[in-house]
Amino acid sequence: MKLFVPADAAAQSVGADEVAEALQSALKARGLDVPLIRTGSRGLTWLEPLVEVNTASGRQGFANVSALEVPGLLDAIVGGEPHPSAIGLVESLPALARQRRLTFSRVGVIDPLSLEDFRAHGGLRGWARAMELAPEAIVQEVTTSLLRGRGGAGFPAGIKWKTVAEAKGARKYIVCNADEGDSGTFADRMVMEGDPFMLLEGMRIAARAVGASHGFIYVRSEYPRAVSVLERAIAVLRESRFLGTGFDVEVRVGAGAYVCGEETSLLESLEGKRGQVRAKPPLPAHEGLFGKPTVVNNVLTLAAVPWILEHGGAAYAALGVGRSRGTMPIQLAGNVKHGGLFELPLGVTLRELIFDFGGGTASARPVRAVQVGGPLGAYFPEKLLDTPLDYEAMAKAGGILGHAGVVVFDDTVNLAKQARFAFEFCALESCGKCTPCRIGSTRGVEVLDQVAAGVEPEKNLALVKDLCTVLTDASLCALGGLTPLPVLSALEHFHEDFTRRSR
C-alpha cells in the first residue's frame, strides 16, 4: 500500500501539509510501514486536500480530508471499510476521465522529485527521441505539431526555434517564461511543482534544437513553492548529469512586476535592469538575452515538447480545431463551484467548461460575466458563452485566449468597477516606457471615475473609447495594448453598469 498527498501550493493552502503530517503520525502510532508520497495536484481543486491510496483496481480518492479525520480515515483504508470522504477511483472521475492530459499526465500522480518515478511514467522518452534526431529534425517535429506559444501570444513555436537555430551567435539561450502573472492562471505553477523534470526535459530538447548552452527559468516571486521544487529538480538532474553537461539551467526569481511576463521586459530583468520593455525589432530570437539569439517560451510551451518528440508532431496536431492545434491546459477559476485545471483539446466552449466541468457558480447565483485570458482579456456576457476556447474564435469574439485562464463572476459583479480596475492595474504595472500606457492608464481611471460620479457620462465614455484607441495603436507591448479589451468589452456588453449611478 502507498498513500499520496499533494504538496502543490494550492493543496497546501487548504491544509494538505497538516493532513500529510497527521497521516505520518497515525501510521507511526499504528506501527504501519506505508510510504506516503507527496505529489503535485490533479488540479481538481474543489477536492483538495485529496488523499489517494493505491489499490489493485487503481488509485482510490478521499476528498476534502482534514487533519482531524485522519485517524478514522486510516482505519477505514487499512480495514477496507467505507468512509464518507471516499470518492472512488480518481481516474474514473468524469472531471479527469473527460480530459486529454498530455502535458499533465504525470502531475498529481508521481513524486515530482523522483527521477525513477519520472522515467517509469514515460519521462525522458522525448529526450531519447531528440537524441536520435538532427537538430533541424527536432525543429521540424515542433513545426509539424503546430504548437503555438502557450504564454498568450500564440506565436508558432517551430518558427521561433527555426529563427534561433539559424541565427548566428557566440552563445544562445533558452529562457523559460514562468512569470505567470495573469489572474485566473496557475498551470505553469502546477507544472513546476508537479512535474519539473518534464519542463527541464523540454528545455534540454529546445537547447539541442537551436544549439543553446545556457537556460534560465524566470519564476515570479509569488510562487515560492515552485522555486523550491525547481531548484531541487535541477540539483537532481545535475547529479544525474542530464544538466551541466553542455546545457545548464538556473532559476531566477522575479520581484513582483507583472510586466516582466512580457518577453523583452523579462530579458531586461534577467540582465539585472528595470523590467522595461524593449522596442521590437530586433526580435529576441535574433538579439535576446545579452544581445544573443534567445528562445523565450512559456512553461506550457516547453512542457509540451517532450510529448511531441515522443509521439511525433503529427499526433499533437491531430488534436484541436482550425489553426489551434493540440491541447490546452485550461484553468477555471473565480466564482465557480468546481474550479481547477482541465487539459482539453483546443475548442471546448466556455459554456461546456463552466457548466459541465465547473458546475456553475460557487455562489449558486447566475453567471453574469466571464473574463478569459487574464487582466488583459475581455469580459464575455452570458450570450457569448458558446464561444469556443481557441485562438481564432476568441479573437473573433473580441477577446484573447491568452494563457487560458477563465474567471467566472456571478450577477453581483459591477463591470464598471472591473473596467476601472483594468485601467488601475495597467497604471500600477506599467513599466513607464511608453506614454500611452503610462499616462493613458491613469487618465482612464480618472475618466471612469467621472462617469461613475455622473459627470457628462456619454461625453466621458466617448473619451474612454478614444483613449482605448490610442492605447491599442500606440503602446509598445501588450500591457498597454490589450488593457482596452477588458474596458471596451465591459462597455459593450454591460453598458448598463456604467450608466446606473446606484450600482
Partner 1 sequence: MHAAEYFARMHTTSWNVEKARALVDAERSRVRSFLSGDGADQSAMLPALHALQKTFGFIHADAISVVAHALNVSKAEVKGVVSFYKDFRTQPPGAHVVALCRAEACQARGSEALAAHLQQTHGLQPGQTKHGVTLENTYCLGNCALGPAALVDESRLVGRLDVAKADQLVGSLKERES
Return residues touching partner 1 (CB under 8 A). Answer: 9-10, 12-14, 45-46, 48, 171, 180-186, 188-189, 214, 221-225, 248, 250, 252-258, 269-276, 289-290, 292, 331-336, 339-340, 362, 371, 375, 405, 407-410, 413, 418, 421, 425, 428-429, 431
Distance of CA 130 to the CA centre of its chain: 25
Q: Which helix (H) or strand (E) holds 214?
A: strand 214-219
* C-alpha cell read off for 301: 510551451
Minimum CB distance to partner 1, residue 458 (Å): 27
Taking CA atoms, 60 is separated from 48, 53, 284, in Å, by 14, 5, 47
Taking CA atoms, 461 is separated from 413, 427, 438, in Å, by 20, 19, 20
* Residue nearer to partner 1 on the CB measure, 61 or 288: 288
Strands (E), 306-375: 320-321, 324-325, 327-334, 340-345, 367-372
Report the alpha-carbon distance of residue 100 to residue 434 in Å, rounded: 42
* Residue nearer to partner 1 on the CB measure, 463 or 476: 476
Report the alpha-carbon distance of residue 419 to residue 394 in Å, rounded: 19
Minimum CB distance to partner 1, residue 443 (Å): 21
Minimum CB distance to partner 1, residue 184 (Å): 4
Measuring CA to CA, which residue among 372, 387, 379, 463 is closest to residue 416? 379
* Residue nearer to partner 1 on the CB measure, 142 or 407: 407
Minimum CB distance to partner 1, residue 470 (Å): 24
Minimum CB distance to partner 1, residue 387 (Å): 19
Number of Cβ atoms within 10 Å of the Cβ of 53: 19
Minimum CB distance to partner 1, residue 136 (Å): 26
* Residue nearer to partner 1 on the CB measure, 140 or 183: 183
* Residue nearer to partner 1 on the CB measure, 311 or 337: 337
* Burial of 79: CB neighbours in 10 Å, binned 0-12, 13-18, 19+: exposed
Q: Provide the sign of the torsion angle of the four alpha carbons 458, 460, 461, 465, taken in this order.
A: positive
* Residue nearer to partner 1 on the CB measure, 296 or 413: 413
Q: What is the DSSP letter of 89?
A: E
Minimum CB distance to partner 1, residue 2 (Å): 26
Minimum CB distance to partner 1, residue 375 (Å): 6
* Residue nearer to partner 1 on the CB measure, 110 or 257: 257
- Torsion angle (degrees, nearest 10) of CA 190, 193, 194, 198: 100
* Residue nearer to partner 1 on the CB measure, 331 or 460: 331
124 dihedral zone (left: phi>0; alpha: psi -120 to 50; beta): left
